[in-house]
């Protein structure tokens, strides 16, 4: 792998420690990426252990196959296919699940992916380049309202409506098909700049999240993890922005509290069913040393819970 496309795994030891890996256990890595977390899990597994790794990126799947480890099963699907994939593999329960969310450095740094305004490239943004609609294709048909909702909702961009109007007006003359076109258009519309941030940062994030259904994917897999975790099994979720962390935080918090009975129904607390999960420790953030060595780690936060 070239130095430019190298990937530095965030919270590597902390995430694998959080899973409390047993040598004979069955574990799931929801995003194989370039195998940083998976490699560390495999080192702690014995000959009878097993790791199931998901990834939408065909390049990531190829990297996993190159390991040649019989204990590793690769699944070229989004991690929302969690339960169906386990069914096909004949696996009822797993001992741990790691979800390292968001986009990987190689995807951001590969100009051909169209995820970054640092390069001029086709406006693709798909994690899985073999299927689905590109960002350019969606922008060519979406209404002002639809673009506004995506850019505001997933990018938390104050100028979402102005950006949407400019995009629709621009495409009437020429389709917006490259990263440079999009970045230049947004730069003209966004009137205030955040320190150290390109004006198009929020728009690019929003379109990437939308194209890859990142938040929907997370909402779909979390309840499946609860269903499939064996007693004592753990889930660790690493998020890189507030939108995905909010979903993980809310879900794990709710799953660690007993269901409240309907108001007015006389039920003793002791008679309520126990919650399915319990939170483990406080959220974990990268150390100052890790952030200094890998600035992309600065926004990471990991939440851990255990099946009761």
Residue ranges at the known binding site for S-adenosyl-L-methionine: 35-37, 55, 79, 100, 107
Alpha-helical regions (H) of 7-104: 12-19, 36-44, 58-65, 82-89
Q: What are phi and psi of 133, to 5 degrees?
A: -90, 135
Whether 154 contacts 211, CB under 8 Å:
no
Please, is 205 exposed, middle or buried when counting C-beta atoms within 10 Å of its C-beta (0-12, 13-18, 19+)?
A: buried
Residue ranges of the binding site: 35-37, 55, 79, 100, 107
Whether 236 contacts 98, CB under 8 Å:
yes
CA dihedral over 106, 150, 300, 12, signed as positive or negative:
negative
Distances (CA, A) of 247 to 6, 24, 82, 223, 302: 29, 31, 18, 12, 13
CA separation for the pair 80, 83 (Å, rounded): 8
**DSSP, residue by residue, 221-290:** HHHHHHHHEEEEEEEEEEESSHHHHHHHHHHHHHHTSPPPPPTT----GGGSPPPSEEE-SS-B---HHH
- Alpha-carbon dihedral angle through residues 181, 134, 225, 285, given to the nearest 10 degrees: -20
């Amino acid at each position: 792998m070239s130095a430019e496309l190298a990937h530095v795994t965030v919270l590597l030891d902390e995430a694998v420690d959080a899973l409390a890996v047993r040598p004979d256990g069955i574990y799931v890595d929801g995003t194989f990426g370039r195998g940083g977390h998976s490699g560390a899990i495999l080192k702690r597994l014995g000959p009878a252990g097993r790791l199931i790794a998901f990834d939408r990126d065909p390049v990531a799947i190829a990297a996993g196959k190159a390991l040649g480890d019989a204990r590793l099963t690769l699944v070229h699907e989004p991690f929302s296919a969690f339960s169906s994939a386990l069914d096909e593999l004949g696996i009822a329960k797993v001992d741990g699940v790691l979800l390292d969310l968001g986009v990987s450095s190689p995807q951001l740094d590969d100009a051909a992916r169209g995820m970054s305004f640092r390069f001029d490239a086709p406006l693709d943004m798909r994690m899985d380049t073999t299927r689905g609609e590109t960002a350019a294709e969606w922008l060519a048909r979406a209404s002002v309202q639809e673009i506004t909702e995506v850019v505001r909702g997933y990018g938390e961009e104050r100028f979402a409506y102005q950006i949407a109007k400019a995009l629709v007006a621009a495409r009437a003359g020429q389709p917006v098909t490259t990263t440079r076109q999009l970045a230049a258009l947004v730069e003209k519309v966004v009137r205030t700049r955040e320190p150290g941030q390109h004006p198009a940062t929020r728009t690019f994030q929003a379109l990437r999240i939308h194209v890859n259904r990142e938040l929907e994917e997370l909402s779909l897999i979390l309840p499946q993890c609860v269903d499939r975790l064996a007693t004592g099994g753990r889930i660790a979720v690493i998020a890189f922005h507030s939108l995905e962390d909010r979903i993980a935080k809310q879900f794990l918090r709710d799953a660690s509290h007993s269901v409240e009975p309907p108001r007015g129904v006389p039920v003793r607390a002791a008679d309520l069913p126990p919650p399915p999960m319990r939170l483990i420790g406080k959220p974990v953030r990268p150390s100052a040393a890790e952030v200094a060595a890998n600035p992309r780690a600065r926004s990471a936060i990991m939440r851990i819970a255990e099946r009761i």
